[in-house]
Amino acid sequence: MNKKIIYITYQTFPAYTANSIQTITHLSHFSKKNFDVTLIFPLRNKESDSRIKTLQEFYDFSENFKTIGTIHPLPFKKINFFEKFMYILSHFLWSYFTVGKHQKNNEEAYFFTRSEWIFYFLSKKNLKVIYECHQLSKIKKTLIKRCIKNKNSKIVFLNPDMLQDLSIDQDKNIIILPSAYDENIFHNSDNKPENTRIIYAGSLFRFGQSRGIGLFAEYLNKISDLDIELVVATTDNKSNKFIEQIQKKNKNIKFEIYSNLSRREVSKLYNNCSIGLLVNNDSIHATKFTSPLKFFEYVATGLKVIATDNKAHKLLPYQESIHFFDLNSPESIEKAIRISLKSSFPNYHNLNDYSMDNRITKLSKLFQ
């Protein structure tokens, strides 16, 4: 098996987003398994930095791999109108020129990407490529259906609904693989506290829309006898300001707010809480095309879980340990919280099945 992986992505690093954390975690674990890893991405933000030491410090890993940050003389993030169009145009052009440059002398390597355009241009050149698909759009559906005809083009979907929505059959070049926790960072403490601390970690927005934590807090505010503390660890300044506004409106709730914590700090925070919260809006991406990373981190640290009742959350493992609620029903939210608080901490069997090490092992089989 060829051990050379070239990961080309239109993401930028370092960043606190879940998708950037997932990418770096994959690469560090591939490197740990002695793959020769190269990461190629655009320096499209002021904060972008391709130095490996910067990434190691930011994401808290020690493995070494090659990093290449490319120039980005394209309109996205430079022209402040028609942002969506500028993103598509810039993504397309960057992908075309980057593939053209880096496919030379790498015909035997395996390419890995989360970019539909990188996937398309590599597939056209009949190179070996794995595309990890985390959401669907009209453009992605069109490109996937063209690329999957190539025997060297392989796809990883987060859940079976994505495959069903595409109306294509699963074969040996397509696998379904949910998100995974990093076992080097997230683990259960020996003594989990019995308290009324509910934690939510991550961005409070998805594609610019609130995930619904404001409404959750509003209903939580009416439960006066439980002395609940809502712990929020945000990943961006917009989320931080938003949760502060929610705090001012809901005086009956104790809030504990953190921003831009390291992953180890988030893990420690989980271990000082009893319930992990999954809350999302009713967009198609939130209800169908997702496998939330935070859920697997909650599980790895032994938390109880309460979650909005949607199709994507119903596809998660350990269904018997998740207490679902209707975000539009205060009675439903209160019931889920009370049942969760009364229940014992779950015993999550076969937890290693959802570790990053296990995910990398399954991805490696695609390389064969």
The pLDDT assigned to 193 comes to 82
pLDDT tens for 58-76 read 999 999 999 999 999 888 8
* pLDDT band of 192, cuts 50, 70, 90: confident
Q: Cα(88)–Cα(98) distance, rounded to whole angstroms?
A: 15
Q: Say whether pLDDT at 204 is over 70.
A: yes
Q: List phi, psi (to 5°) of 178.
A: -70, 175
The pLDDT assigned to 256 comes to 93
Read off the pLDDT of each residue in 39-53 and give the average, rounded to a whole number.
95
Read off the pLDDT of each residue in 344-352 and give the average, rounded to a whole number.
94
pLDDT, mean over the chain: 91
Query: In whole angstroms, how far apart are CA 193 and each of 249, 298, 347, 348, 360?
Result: 28, 14, 15, 17, 32
CB 161 within 8 A of CB 288: yes
State the amino acid at position 310 in one-letter form: N
At 23, list the tokens: 């990418």
Using CA of residue 264, residue 266, residue 271, residue 275, what is the dihedral sign? negative
**Strand extents, DSSP E, 60-128:** 66-70, 110-113
CB count in 10 Å sphere of residue 32? 17
> How would you label 133-162 residue by residue, b for 16+ Cβ within 10 Å and e otherwise?
bbbbeeebbebbeebbebebbbbbbbbebb
pLDDT tens for 265-300 read 999 999 999 999 999 887 777 778 789 999 999 999
* pLDDT band of 264, cuts 50, 70, 90: very high
Q: Say whether pLDDT at 191 is over 80.
A: no
pTM: 0.92
Read off the pLDDT of each residue in 39-59 and give the average, rounded to a whole number.
95
Find tokens 């120039």 and name the residue: 71
Burial (CB < 10 A; 0-12, 13-18, 19+), residue 266, is buried
Read off the pLDDT of each residue in 160-179 and give the average, rounded to a whole number.
88
Percent over 70 (pLDDT), the chain: 98
The pLDDT assigned to 1 comes to 56
The pLDDT assigned to 2 comes to 64
Q: Cα(306)–Cα(79) distance, rounded to whole angstroms?
A: 41
Q: Say whether pLDDT at 348 is over 90.
A: yes
pLDDT tens for 110-140 read 999 999 999 999 999 999 999 999 988 899 9
Domains and CATH numbers, the chain: 4-177 (3.40.50.2000), 197-342 (3.40.50.2000)
